[in-house]
Every structure is written in C-alpha cells, then in structure tokens.
Structure 1
Amino acid sequence: MAHRFIVEADGGSRGNPGPAGYGAVVLDAATGEALAEAAEYIGTATNNVAEYRGLIAGLEAAKAIDPDAEIAVRMDSKLVVEQMSGRWKIKHPDMRPLAARAQTLFPPGRVTYEWIPRERNKHADRLANEAMDAGKRGVPWEPGAVAPEPAAAAGAAAAAGQPKAAPVGWAAPADLGAPTTFVLLRHGETALTPQKRFSGSGGSDPELSPAGRRQADAVAAALAARGTIQAVVTSPLRRCRETAATVAARLGLEVRVEEGLRETDFGAWEGLTFAEVRERHPADLDAWLASTKAAPTGGGESFAAVARRVSGARDRLLEQYAGRTVLLVSHVTPVKTLVRLALGAPPESLFRMELSAASLSAVAYYADGNASLRLLNDTGHLR
C-alpha cells in the first residue's frame, strides 16, 4: 500500500524581491508525525519564486522517502495552489520552469493541492524564516529536531481525516448525532504477561492463562451489565480471540476479526524480558526508546508503522459502525495508539501510558471529526 504524505511548504522574501528563503515539511498523513524538513536561503528573489522553491523541496523530500507515495500539498499561497491545480494560467516566465519541475516529481493524479490560511502553515513558515535568518548571518540553514508545531500537527491530522481534539470542558453538540464509540479491551493475561515479556504478533501466539480466562469472564459480566455493546471486533491473535469469544458469548454477539488490531511484531525480542533485550541488543533498544520510527532487532515493526496500520483499521471500523458502540479487543500498542491519536498526543506519549491486562478504555468519535477520550485503563471489574 502506498504511503500517504502531507507536504506543507512556504516561501518568503524580505523586500519582494529581496533576501528570500523557503521551508517545507513532510508529514505522515495517518499520524501527523513529521518525517522530513527542508529549508534554504536562495538569495534575492520574489515571494512567489520562494514559494515554488519550497513546494519543489517538499515534493523532493517526500519522493526520497517513498517515490510511490500519494501526496496532499497544503500551502498558504493561493497563486501556487491554483496554478498547480490547473485552474490559473502560469503567465510569469520565472514561474513556468519551477511549476514544470514540480509537475515532474510525481505522476499526475498522485498529488493534490489545498490552500490553507497562514496560521495553519506555521511549521513551513518557521523553516522559511530560519533559512532567511541563516542567510543574513552568512551561514547555511541547519535542521533542528524534526517536530511539527502543535497547530501544524493538528492541521495534518485534520487533513488526513484524523479526529481533532475535542472541545475542552464540553461534550460535542447534540446536533452531531450519536457518536461512534470504541470500547477498547486489552486481552486477558497469558503466561508471558506477569513476566513482562515482549509478546507481539511475531512470537508464539500464546493462549490465555487460567488467570486470563478469569479476567475475560469478569469483563464479560461487567459489559453485559452495562448493556451498551453492539458489536465485537478482535485482533487475530489467539489471546484476543479467546477474550473476545468469552465476551461475545455472554452478549449474544458474533466476533469479527480485524487484522489491523494485531500487536506490534517485536522481531528478535519476542519472548524476552526488557532486561534480556537490554543485555543482548543494547544499541537497538536505545534507538527504539529514543524514536518511534526505530524497529526492534530482526525485522520487527516500529511504532510509527503500527500507527499507520492502526489508524487505517480505525477509519475502516468508523465507516462500518457509524453511530454504534463497538468493543475492540486488542493489545497494549494498538490501544495506546488509538488513545494517542484521539488526544493528538505526540508519539513518545506511548511510553507514558499504563495499560493493564483486561483493562477497559473508551474513545467516542463525533461526526465533525472530534474525538473524546471517555475512559482509560479501567480495571474496576477485576476487583
């Protein structure tokens, strides 16, 4: 499946024409995560030239990551957006070769253009100003930490169809209709759970332990008492299917399997404790803890890759179960990822959540794209 990227680009000139520079950022459309930045001081030029140069740099950065990607370009330049969309003619001789260069980077139909107001293009604007400031000092622009401004990350999420942060302190308006609610259940314990061993989708696929089966019974009773669940969807892994089957039998519902809800593939770390991974693969573990783009040793899955998979599953389920309350039986990483995306929290927040076996969390999604976290790591039914 081709990646979907958002390219935000900008350019500026202090004098028009005057000292000019551009900035661009490539965002993962599913998560809003910044994947690459580009900026450069280009000497004396006009605003329009700088904006086109920013567009080209952003597309080139996206192509370097994945030449088969689908791109959504977002700029606050009405001129560039309308010209590249084919609605306005390109009359100025300085613009034509730049537009032609931009058009050659991806095949027709793989790039769309959207105008956004300047306040939603702060990341690229900041990079362009950094480049112009560097040029004024006579030094090249150097990238800092690749992280979007909060407004840019929210804009990326909205452009990707990702739920935006819910209004603070108030529920969504009544005229939005009933939300789609995902009740998120982490599976019951396996023999590996109390030992805190890595147990993902690439390991032994363990069954529930006796304790895990008791936990599944307890959560089934609690959900039956609430009487709100209308469908049950589970990860394909055995521990989740067993947990889901117990709950569904109590509720009189069938179980549907969703591949996107499976746990991370932890590669060579499967079955090991954290201490054992630290001893055997210290450098890889440090990289994994430092970045959600790093994958476990031996071909495992990065958390960034899991986020793309989980967000795709979320979107499919939201479309299929609109307005209903659905139990999703999954694992630590997918549940944390759904919570993180609902909150618009940064990727590193995955390391700052606790999620117990057989715990319940819940997220409500509204028709306007807002999401509201209703519950996190509830284990009251296990006492």
Structure 2
Amino acid sequence: MVYTMKIYVDGGCRRNGRPGSTGAAAAVVEYRNGGQKAWTRILPRRPPPTNQRAEITAIILALQLALEKIDELHSNPKINVKIYSDSKYAVGCMTDWIYKWSQNGWINAAGNAVANQDLIREASRLDDRLRDEGKVDYIWIPRDENVDADMWCNQALDDAEDQY
C-alpha cells in the first residue's frame, strides 16, 4: 500500500535583503477529500531572513510534516510525497543542484560557497530520510496555483511583524 501526500509550500520575506527583514514559510497539506491543513514557521532574525531562505524553510517544513505522518501510520506503507512550490530556486536546489554541490564540497559553479547551505543541507538530510520510506517529488507550479500556501505565508509574515 502507498500513502500519498500533496503539500503546497511557500516562503516569503518582507524587506528582503534589508535590515529588519521578516521571513516566514508555510506548508499546506491537501487531503483527498478536498480539505487541507496549514502549518507555518517564522524565520529567526539571525541569519537575516531572505526570500530564498524562506523558500527552503518551507521545503524543510513539508519534509518534516511528511516524516511525522510516517510515524503516525500504523500499517507501515510506502509513502509518495509531492511537494509543490512556486520557487524555481527551491525546486532547483532539491532536484538538481544539491547533488552537484554535495559532490563539489558545497562550492557552486562560480567557485563560491553555496548560499543558504545550512538550510539546504538540512533539507537534504530530511529528503534522504523520507526517500528511505518512499518517493519524493518536487514540482514547480505557477504562483497563481499556489494561493493557499501564499495566503498562509503572508498571514505568518503579518504575525511575525506583530511580534517584533
């Protein structure tokens, strides 16, 4: 038996690249019956949040949710996880670049250290664990197909700004 999960993710940053930036991530699990449930995470202030860090954090959140679901399932099925993102950067990290970077000692094509390496390595570790249990696909979608995750991300950004 295969248990399938569809997770839509989004990350965002207000004042990206400037002092006082605020970042958040959201993951929305879509259920077979049409229902959904959302989880959000506010990024820490250090290192400074960026859009890219937020997008990778959203992937991490989705992977953590999938791993938690595996622990809840009693029949020990294989899992098939589809993670949908409107970030070409995040999808590219997880489908193409991560393998090259790990082979190159986390140095990019320009000869520099890979940016956001801490988060990408964490996502890679979680991805490896999840792949031990089944399959993971990262799928790029246009922004207008990601409205629920975007809405939850913006709500988390509003909440984060209220906290600071």
Q: If the TM-score is normalised by the length of the shorter chain, which range does it land in? A: 0.7 to 0.9
Distance 1:115 1:57, change over 3 A: same
- Check if 1:59 corresponds to 2:63: yes
CA contact (8 A) 2:85 2:91 kept: yes
- Check if 1:23 corresponds to 2:48: no
CA contact (8 A) 1:39 1:131 kept: yes
* 1:194-231 superposed Cα distances (whole Å, 9 cap, x missing partner): xxxxxxxxxxxxxxxxxxxxxxxxxxxxxxxxxxxxxx
CA contact (8 A) 2:84 2:140 kept: yes
- Check if 1:122 corresponds to 2:151: no
User: What is the alpha-carbon distance in structure 1 between the residues aligned to residue 16 and residue 122 of structure 2?
Assistant: 18
Distance 1:105 1:38, change over 3 A: farther
Q: Which residue of 1 is the match for residue 13 of structure 2?
A: 13
TM-score, normalised to structure 2's length? 0.73
The one-letter code of the counterpart of 1:25 is V
Among 156, 159, 164, the residue aligned to 1:131: 156
User: What is the alpha-carbon distance in structure 2 between the residues aligned to residue 114 and residue 129 of structure 1?
Assistant: 21
3-state DSSP of counterpart to 2:90: helix
TM-score, normalised to structure 1's length? 0.33
User: What is the alpha-carbon distance in structure 2 between the residues aligned to residue 10 and residue 20 of structure 1?
Assistant: 11
Work out the number of aligned pairs and report it: 137
CA contact (8 A) 1:3 1:70 kept: yes
Over the aligned positions, Cα root-mean-square deviation in angstroms equals 2.2
User: What is the alpha-carbon distance in structure 1 between the residues aligned to residue 158 and residue 42 of structure 2?
Assistant: 8
After TM superposition, which residue ranges in structure 1, 4 or more long, deviate above 4 angstroms? Answer: 87-90
- Check if 1:103 corresponds to 2:106: no
Distance 1:102 1:32, change over 3 A: farther
- For residue 99 of structure 1, report the CA deviation from its aligned partner: 3.3
Q: Pick 1 or 2: higher relative contact order, CA cutoff 8 A, min separation 6.
A: 2
* 1:28-48 superposed Cα distances (whole Å, 9 cap, x missing partner): 3x44331x3210211331111
The one-letter code of the counterpart of 1:138 is Q
Among 91, 94, 116, the residue aligned to 1:94: 116
Aligned pairs for 1:276-315 within 5 A:
none
- For residue 87 of structure 1, report the CA deviation from its aligned partner: 5.4
3-state DSSP of counterpart to 1:45: coil
3-state DSSP of counterpart to 1:129: helix
Q: Which residue of 2 is the match for residue 72 of structure 1?
A: 82
Among 20, 24, 35, the residue aligned to 1:33: 35
Q: Which of the pair has more CA radius of gyration?
A: 1
* 1:316-373 superposed Cα distances (whole Å, 9 cap, x missing partner): xxxxxxxxxxxxxxxxxxxxxxxxxxxxxxxxxxxxxxxxxxxxxxxxxxxxxxxxxx
The one-letter code of the counterpart of 2:69 is I
CA contact (8 A) 2:94 2:124 kept: no
Q: Which residue of 1 is the match for residue 105 of structure 2?
A: none
CA contact (8 A) 2:9 2:59 kept: yes
Distance 1:123 1:105, change over 3 A: farther
- For residue 79 of structure 1, report the CA deviation from its aligned partner: 1.1
Q: Which residue of 2 is the match for residue 361 of structure 1?
A: none
* 1:253-301 superposed Cα distances (whole Å, 9 cap, x missing partner): xxxxxxxxxxxxxxxxxxxxxxxxxxxxxxxxxxxxxxxxxxxxxxxxx
CA contact (8 A) 2:63 2:127 kept: no
Aligned pairs for 1:151-230 within 5 A:
none
Distance 1:65 1:99, change over 3 A: closer
Distance 1:112 1:101, change over 3 A: same
Between the aligned residues of both structures, percent identity stands at 28
Distance 1:78 1:102, change over 3 A: farther
